Amino acid sequence: MSVLLSLKGLTLYYRTRRGVVKAVDGVSFDLKEGSCLSLVGESGCGKSSMAYAIMRLLPRNTHTYCGELIFDGKNLMDLTENDLRRDFWLKKMAMVFQGAMNSLNPVLNIGEQLAEPFTIHLGLDKLEALKRAAELLELVRLPNSLLDKYPHELSGGMKQRVVIATALSLRPKFLILDEPTSALDVITQANIINLLKRLQEELNLTYIFITHDLGLSSELSDYIAVMYAGKVVELGDIVSILTAPKHPYTQKLLAATPKLLEDAKLEFIPGSPPDLAYPPPGCRFHPRCPYVMDVCKVREPEPVKVSSEHYVSCLLWERV
């Protein structure tokens, strides 16, 4: 399998009143075509920002955006926004936003919003586009009576599916899903996960699946990347990560994940994640790390390969 997406030192900083927020700070990894990567981490560690950075959908207060971002053999950094609009967004890469509840325009009906990609990118006429929109609804198992409904008339799960359907409209090969299920009840959640699995098989999609639910990510993904304070601290295939986590943060994260029907006492990680405007020097996890060494406070760890597809950024492992 070839590499579809390759990041090198991808960086995204925001300008705010408090200072520069380093939401994504030099992230590097490769993603193979047809695989699924889960991106996990505490709230505010920069997962969504990473998704925006990969999509090159930058907020207005972007301060720094740099690094290498090779997608399908092209460095997206070299392209203009017009190139992206014409050839990439929705056609090759699409994203389902974290706030699916708010991802639909409240004053346009579903049909119009679903048909838009067809009229704009494929130049179909209105009727034809609506027909395709109906097919999309079918793909995500929704009745096509929704076409002339407005977003406020839909349930959360329905909206989530409509958003996924929109993302799939032009059959992209790459999809980022930002917590597509966190606002839903378990049954709807399971439905959506099944839908995603089915779509992956049917359409041979490559996913990045953002969640803070490690259980969910194990359902879907081949790889897991653990993010902490704007950096990927550990990345590996799902089995290695779940059975042999190397980074102290990953270990804590796993220990803090509730497991159904098990009575194990939940641990929680003492302290709170750092302010990304003023991250601690050295390893960003050091203030909360149980194994902290003096060197952790001054040196930033580099990714270390611990097995064929498993990397960790921790000075404990660098020394070994």
Where do contacts with Mg ion occur on this chain (CB under 5 A)?
48, 98
DSSP 3-state of 65: strand
> Which residues bind to ligand ATP, rule: CB under 6 A?
14, 16, 21, 23, 41, 43-49, 59, 61, 98, 212, 276
> Residue 128 or 300: which CB sits closer to other proteins?
128
Pick from other proteins, ligand ATP, Mg ion, none: which does 253 bind, CB < 5 to 8 A by kind?
Answer: none
Can you count the helices (H) and strands (E) in the chain? 10, 12
> Residue 119 or 251: which CB sits closer to other proteins?
119
Structural tokens at position 205: 């999609």
Q: Is 210 in the site for other proteins (CB under 8 A)?
A: no
Distances (CA, A) of 113 to 138, 158, 176: 16, 14, 20
> Residue 142 or 163: which CB sits closer to other proteins?
163
Q: Is 83 in the site for other proteins (CB under 8 A)?
A: no
Query: How many residues of this chain bind other proteins (CB under 8 A)?
Result: 36
Residue of the chain from 68, 72, 116, 300 that contacts other proteins (CB under 8 A): 116
> Residue 47 or 246: which CB sits closer to ligand ATP?
47
| 161 in Cβ contact with 153 (< 8 Å) | no
CA distance 178 to 189: 14
> Residue 153 or 267: which CB sits closer to other proteins?
153
Query: Long-range contacts made by residues 285-292, C-beta under 8 angstroms, separation at least 24?
Result: 285/228, 285/229, 285/233, 285/247, 285/248, 285/249, 288/249, 289/248, 289/249, 290/248, 291/248, 291/316
Nearest by Cα to 271 from 299, 296, 294, 252: 252
Residue of the chain from 3, 6, 8, 15 that contacts other proteins (CB under 8 A): 15
Q: CA 32: distance to chain centroid? A: 15
> Residue 17 or 265: which CB sits closer to other proteins?
17
Pick from other proteins, Mg ion, ligand ATP, none: which does 102 bind, CB < 5 to 8 A by kind?
Answer: other proteins
Pick from ligand ATP, Mg ion, other proteins, none: which does 95 bind, CB < 5 to 8 A by kind?
Answer: other proteins
Nearest by Cα to 26 from 46, 44, 3: 46
Q: Is 203 in the site for other proteins (CB under 8 A)?
A: no
Characterize 60-70 residue by residue with b for buried, 16 or more Cβ atoms within 10 angstroms of its Cβ, and e for exposed.
Answer: eeeeebebebb
Q: Is 313 in the site for other proteins (CB under 8 A)?
A: no
Site residues (vs other proteins, CB under 8 A): 15-17, 55, 57, 60-61, 84-86, 89-91, 94-95, 97-100, 102-109, 116-117, 120-121, 150, 152-153, 163, 166
